[in-house]
Structure 1
């Protein structure tokens, strides 16, 4: 692919990200635009209609107060990569971010039961990724109860993404959060140490 065509494709992706949030908004986020009158399942079906795309995007812009214009050049390359990620790609970045945040806890595991719990929750590959990026790890965390370990790691990954979203220029971070289902870990106020570590961890996962 030529450099010119790559640039055109990137520009088109950014233009769609800014102008057409109906293409990627998570259905329950769209349902909120109808004040409970339309359920997420119907919203998902509405999103498949090209005829409704512009009207739905206008509704999302209005409901969430999205900036109508955002210059791509005002956003760094790595942040644009995160911004343009699909919901599935974001979910994987969140898993990686959560694992990195927990890297100190993984590295200091000595009990066989603790190691088995991490392996079950994250898998060996993700644990290796976490340890390779331990310089960005958060503080040690209590591991018990084991059955909630995977959920807690994901929630901390969402907090990292939430911190990244709030570090972006107006309109960028909010659009990204709309790609995922509402979750307090993503949507609530960002607390320490996520305000400092979160954006750096997200950029590391995407880099």
Structure 2
């Protein structure tokens, strides 16, 4: 059962998520609000100014057309926890989601070199997580070149996160996307099978 302080904390966190995007927007995305007049490094410094926070948040709202306010109670518990995650937590979530998406490829590995490549790219713990959630896995993937395996898994995880964002109301999905650096895997149109698998994988990875 939630206590009153916990409820207040959730409400405060959601209010900041909705009304104060300058607190969490990734610097290069903030730089886009200035049409090339301000670089990412300066934007990172601007974000530390409490005096500018309200003005920057208004600018972000306008530039990205963040849409209407969404009440916390209109968003499910798991989706709300994802929305309130930090950029670091979202990046780790995407990595977990990518591993789950690759679970069939991990499970069907027979060559020692392939198994070693997965272990190097993901680590044993993440491989175990992936296999435990194989029911949501995507299709088999080619494993080579090995030196790109980690990046490819991450890209597919970002595609899953992008699909989750598209499945949210614009007021939620757009804001979550602002927390991470621009990336076609996250930002571009969602293609099959990520449109069907992505949101479920993200929720499973966050659970």
CA distance in 1, matches of 2:154, 2:186: 10
Superposed, which structure 2 residues align to 1:75-86 within 5 Å?
75-86=75-86
Which residue in 1 is equivalent to 2:197? 197
Q: Shift of the alpha carbon at 1:169? A: 1.0
Which residue in 2 is equivalent to 1:141? 141
Misfit runs of 4+, over 3 Å = none
Superposed, which structure 2 residues align to 1:82-97 within 5 Å?
82-97=82-97
CA distance in 1, matches of 2:177, 2:124: 28
**Match of 1:125, SS?**
helix
Question: What per-residue deviation string (whole Å, max 9, x for no partner) do you get for residues 142-196 of structure 1?
Answer: 0011011000000000000000000001210110010000000000000000000
CA distance in 1, matches of 2:136, 2:2: 36
RMSD between aligned residues: 1.0
Question: What per-residue deviation string (whole Å, max 9, x for no partner) do you get for residues 28-51 of structure 1?
Answer: 000000001100000000000000
CA distance in 2, matches of 1:202, 1:81: 11
Q: Shift of the alpha carbon at 1:2? A: 6.8
Check whether the contact 1:19–1:68 (CA below 8 A) recurs between aligned residues: no
CA distance in 2, matches of 1:155, 1:56: 30
TM-score (norm 1): 0.99
CA distance in 1, matches of 2:15, 2:2: 20
How many residues are treated as equivalent by the alignment? 207
Q: CA separation of 1:4/1:204 partners in 2, compared to 1, >3 Å: closer, same or farther?
A: same
Question: What per-residue deviation string (whole Å, max 9, x for no partner) do you get for residues 15-38 of structure 1?
Answer: 000000000000000000000110
Which residue in 1 is equivalent to 2:61? 61
Ranges in structure 1 where 5+ consecutive residues have no aligned partner = none
Which residue in 1 is equivalent to 2:46? 46
CA distance in 2, matches of 1:171, 1:7: 21
CA distance in 2, matches of 1:20, 1:68: 13
Q: Shift of the alpha carbon at 1:67? A: 1.7
**Match of 1:171, SS?**
helix
Higher deviation after alignment, 59-68 or 1-10: 1-10
Q: CA separation of 1:50/1:125 partners in 2, compared to 1, >3 Å: closer, same or farther?
A: same
CA distance in 2, matches of 1:61, 1:5: 29
